[in-house]
Chain A
Amino acid sequence: MLSRTADNLYWLSRYMERADFLARIIDAAQRLATLPTAYGGTGSEWESTLNAAGALDGYREHVGAVNETSAIYYLAFDPQNSSSICNCLEYARTNARAVRTALTIEMWQSINGAWLEMKRFQAIFGKPGTIDRLELSRFLDFIRKASLDFDGSAERTMLRNDAHWFSRLGLYMERADTTARILDVKYNVLLPATEQVGGSLDYFQWTAILRAVSALTAYNWVYKETIKPWLVADLLILRPEMPRSLRSCYDDIARLLDNIGRAYGRPGPSQSKAHKTLRLLETINIEQIFETGLHEFLTEFIESNDALGAAIGGQYLIHVDEGTTETQAQSQA
């Protein structure tokens, strides 16, 4: 298949996953921000949320001082934020149009339908300013449904060939990255030392993390005990049964890359990188991670995940500069 087609499929899934993640962290931050400081509200909730989204620097440059309304607008709607939810959906659809023939009709309809619905919300949230909370929660629900719909269509309707593998690869690469980022932003509240006798001020912080990766119920099923920070880290880093854990993502990433390598008859650097990370996640335990330092572990993971992304790019894809297609079209018109 064309490298550009593979590239489009890969990024299409990444953008859909990113939109979903952003919707979840906005939702979680909204809950935390309404807590009195006595319950662990830190007052810097939006700053750390912007940070988890990798958008803090851009926000400071374009907007300035952090407050809730502006942060929500920036993360969800702002055209200036290249990774706002609306821009993610816009890029996803642009990628989808470019590879329409490689998508099933169901995938196209889910993307196109979501894009049309987004236009309606954009009309409501056209400008920064006050946020209609009811409409916002509708919007965040809609985004989560859209990514469910897209994933469901991809799972249920795509042929199991390289197109499917590249598409799913994008999903798990993005998911591994976002899970690691949200953990890293919050790593200080996950350290064992923060546990206080008789419950912790950080309790709501932990549940917020779990909520952001839709793992609150999963936690209860897996551990059957009250929320402990090191178990939150264990769940999201090492548990293979947790679909957003780093381990689970790498199970899928390694499997997908193996499929591609086998089909093309020659594995390369991406396969060996993925297996190296997977081996680490399989063998290390959470105590060892805390010994070496949670923050250090996560930083290293994010870097190696980026390096894997670059290796996949070099081996199979061409990275498309999002700005170029537009200017090309103008020169033709």
Chain B
Amino acid sequence: MANGRFFDEMTKPDGLPRDVYQRVAHWLASAPPELLASRRSQAELMFRRIGITFAVYGDKDSTERLIPFDIVPRVLGRSEWTRLEAGLIQRVKVLNMFLADLYGKGEVIKAGIIPEDIVLNNEHFRPEMRGVKVPHDVYVHISGIDIVRVDDHDFYVLEDNARTPSGVSYMLENREVMMRLVPELFAQHRVAPVENYPDALLSSLRSVAPKQAGSDPVCVLLTPGIFNSAYYEHSFLADKLGVELVEGRDLLVKENVVYMRTTQGPQRVDVIYRRIDDDFLDPLAFRPDSALGVPGLMSAYLAGNVTLANAVGTGVADDKAVYTYMPEIIKFYLGEEPLLKNVPTWRCREPDSLKYVLDHLPELVVKEVNGSGGYGMLVGPHATREQIAEFATKLKNDPDGFIAQPTLNLSTCPASFESGIGARHVDLRPFVLSGADGVRVIPGGLTRVAMKEGSLVVNSSQGGGTKDTWVIEDFQGGLV
């Protein structure tokens, strides 16, 4: 199972399981194939019944699809988690400081840490936010930091998702399904719970309500509507949070105060957990053709009468070009070494880097600076000669629009298939919450799996799957 080229999280190069995986390895080795097969089909049935689906844009026939689910849990030991958690908290703290600075005094630019044009020319930079004070200086209330591993020590940040990261409903539902699916495995581990995520989220949201909101602020979740690919998650979260799931047309702004239309008349809204991009928030402030937003929302926000989570303009911090400067940015604000590593990245805007990238396309991963969801990227080792030639032209035409990274040897975890157990590449998206009371991370996250053998693309829009992620107490040898 272990493959010399990749770090396998379960199996050491000598073929023995690592400590934290002992019981899972034993379970996999001793469970008859029929049992695993019946659990796999049970899992599929449960997800279908729950109706947890997502939509793929541009895929007419399957507007609602299930994401493949793997029944083998991914396991992290407490000590590994503690290191990761500290790194995530450091990273998100800095993202908030960085945004407050960019929209405030701009010291990070004055100090020459990051070139001004990368910020100012960024399409996600919102000049409207300059000089605006957001409650408790929190910009990124909810973030999903994508993490990959290549060895048993270091965690690398692949991407900082600071806009409207999705996937947390899968973290929660995967755990629910697993508890019913493999109770015998849970009985052998002490797994840190994730089910308190909605409570933690709600208290973070309430903690950043405008001062005038009083002791019982009204929070809502703003969705683009049922045709959005993450609509299931929006309705799932609203239900768990116990807040109204609103669309733009349910809200109105009067004298810079936001109200929702209810059967008993307008009701004041204090905090909006919005799952709509900046561009669509308010047709008066941003895209005038947006029918999803709320006219006047931005001016209510700037007047301090409503809190938006995440804040407007956070996209400038999770941009792939800004990403490359994150290690220096962390040192600048905290005077600390970054606890999580950055993947070495060539900025194609720099002529030397561009030349290197063009010369080494077959071995690199090239991404659009503003792309997401695995769209518009080139995975060199898996691309055809034509695809590489095509991409080279795109690169030369718009070098500022791309970065390149070495093809990472993403770690693998065991996954269960009809053909048996196979190692598949994974990444991890832990969810980090920031509120007036600080930054916290829910122990676990969404593990995404490239279900195809050898594939490195884990995005659900590209056929990736998910699995439950367990943080367990460190385990020292021996079987029960």
Contacts and interface: CB of A to CB of B under 8 A. Distances in A.
Contacts of B244: 1-2, 5
A283 to B, nearest CB: 32
Interface string B232-261: 000100110000111101100000000011
A187 to B, nearest CB: 37
B263 A6 contact: yes
A314 B61 CA distance: 38
A209 B224 CA distance: 45
Interface in B296-324: none
B22 interface: no
A333 interface: yes
Contacts of B33: none
Contacts of B225: 98, 325, 328-329, 332
Q: Which one of A4, A94, A332 has the greatest number of beta carbons of chain B within 10 Å?
A: A332
B292 interface: yes
Contact of B235 (A1, A100, A264, A326): A100
Contacts of B250: 2-4
Size category of the A interface is: 20 to 34
B228 A316 contact: no
Given A327-B291, A331-B289, A333-B57, A318 B249 contact: yes
Contacts of A318: 249, 261
A98 B231 CA distance: 9
A325 B239 contact: no
Contact of B227 (A4, A264, A317, A329): A329
Interface string A309-333: 0000000111000001111111111
B226 A2 contact: no
B280 interface: yes
Nearest to A330: B227
Contacts of B227: 325-326, 328-330, 332-333
Interface in B251-302: 260-264, 276, 280, 289-292
Contact of A332 (B228, B235, B239, B249): B228
Contact of B291 (A3, A6, A328): A328
B376 interface: no
Given A101-B235, A328-B292, A331-B291, A2 B228 contact: no
A112 interface: yes
Contacts of B245: 101
Nearest to A315: B263
B260 A264 contact: no
B420 interface: no
Nearest to B64: A97
Interface string B205-228: 000000000000000000011111
B261 A3 contact: yes
Contacts of A3: 250, 261-263
B224 A112 contact: no
B51 interface: yes
Nearest to A7: B263
A326 B226 CA distance: 9
A3 B226 CA distance: 17
Q: Which one of B49, B226, B261 has the greatest number of beta carbons of chain A within 10 Å?
A: B226
A258 to B, nearest CB: 15
A264 B228 CA distance: 33
A317 B264 CA distance: 10
Interface string A64-108: 000000000000000000000000000000100110110000001
A326 to B, nearest CB: 7
A289 to B, nearest CB: 35
Contact of A328 (B224, B246, B263): B224
B290 A331 contact: yes
Nearest to B264: A264
A291 to B, nearest CB: 41
A97 B263 CA distance: 20
A101 B292 CA distance: 20
B261 A2 contact: yes
A328 B263 CA distance: 24
Contacts of A331: 280, 289-292
Contacts of B51: 100, 108, 112
A90 B238 CA distance: 24
Given A98-B226, A325-B225, A329-B224, A264 B291 contact: no
Interface string A219-263: 000000000000000000000000000000000000000001000
B228 A4 contact: no
Contacts of B249: 4, 318
Given A329-B227, A331-B290, A332-B224, 15 more contacts: A1-B262, A2-B244, A3-B262, A3-B263, A4-B250, A98-B225, A100-B235, A101-B235, A101-B238, A162-B263, A317-B263, A318-B261, A328-B225, A330-B227, A331-B292
What are the 8 tightest A-B residue pairs by CB atom distance, in nearest-first order?
Answer: A329-B227, A101-B239, A328-B291, A3-B261, A316-B263, A97-B226, A332-B224, A6-B263
21 contacts: A1-B244, A3-B261, A97-B226, A97-B231, A98-B225, A98-B226, A100-B51, A101-B238, A264-B264, A317-B263, A318-B249, A318-B261, A325-B225, A327-B291, A328-B224, A328-B225, A331-B280, A331-B290, A331-B292, A332-B224, A332-B280
Interface of A: 1-6, 94, 97-98, 100-101, 108-109, 112, 162, 166, 260, 264, 316-318, 324-333
